[in-house]
Amino acid sequence: MSPENQAEVHDFTRDWWGRLPRAWRIADREQNPEAGAVPLLRWMDGIGQIAGRTRDLNSDMWEGRLLDPDHTPDHLLPWLGWLLGMSEHRRQAPPATLRDRIRAQIASGSHGVGTRRHIAEAVREFLHEGGQVQILASASYPFTLVIGVAEDDVPGADYGLLEERIRAAGVIPAGHVLVVQDVRTTWDAWEDAAGETWDDKETNIVTWDDSDTAGVTFEEP
């Protein structure tokens, strides 16, 4: 393989070097063979690497590859999340998780603030795996959101820290009061919510989430 065709040389540099007079390129190939030859090419590649990567980045931007979560490099995913208005906490997820979040946010067309689904997704990130959450707008107090979680699902049962983290996630609408409550149900309450017959239960309890939240009641703050 010719020295100028080595993989570590950027193609921008190869093209640039290839435009030099032929005599210069022949002389460059014959210099310093003990060190791999082509010292001029190697010197040019110091500039070529920077210029080439800048060119590649610009091309990816204009052609849409950089803004496509299916093609964005892992190290640029936090930047793409930032462009979409994601909170710092949500951008700190592992690349595979962050890529999925970006896809979901693009598909929803939402900036992820204020909807029950987005709030619930943010809360679950701070709970133990499989933790359940319910979101309720207070009927007695305006601009008050009640977040219902089970104490066993909250790490360290620290509701104050949980509330801080939910607010830091950037999903709570401006001006809203946040109240985090411990919610749990009893077997009798679950039976009442699920229904008396198996047909009732099959209608009312369709998913595991339905089962986990059946019979749970909120207390007004």
- pLDDT tens-digit profile of 96-127? 999 998 888 777 665 555 667 778 888 888 88
169 and 143 housed in the same domain: yes
107 and 122 housed in the same domain: no
Domain count, the chain: 3
- pLDDT tens-digit profile of 4-17? 566 688 889 999 99
Confidence of residue 68 (pLDDT cuts 50, 70, 90): confident
| Mean of all residue pLDDT scores within the chain | 80
Q: Lowest-confidence range among 60-69, 110-119, 148-157? A: 110-119
152 and 210 housed in the same domain: yes
- Using CA atoms, how far apart are residues 85 and 107, in angstroms rounded to an integer? 14
φ and ψ at residue 204, rounded to 5 degrees: -90, -30
pLDDT of residue 1: 43
53 and 73 housed in the same domain: no
pLDDT of residue 129: 83
206 and 193 housed in the same domain: yes
18 and 82 housed in the same domain: no
Torsion angle (degrees, nearest 10) of CA 54, 56, 58, 61: -140
125 and 220 housed in the same domain: yes
- Using CA atoms, how far apart are residues 119 and 136, in angstroms rounded to an integer? 11
What is the average pLDDT across 148-153? 84
- Using CA atoms, how far apart are residues 103 and 90, in angstroms rounded to an integer? 13
What is the average pLDDT across 124-148? 79
pLDDT of residue 62: 77
- Using CA atoms, how far apart are residues 83 and 92, in angstroms rounded to an integer? 14
199 and 119 housed in the same domain: yes
218 and 116 housed in the same domain: yes
53 and 32 housed in the same domain: yes
Flag whether pLDDT at 21 surpasses 90: yes
Range(s) of the domain holding residue 132: 112-221
219 and 132 housed in the same domain: yes
pTM: 0.42
80 and 135 housed in the same domain: no
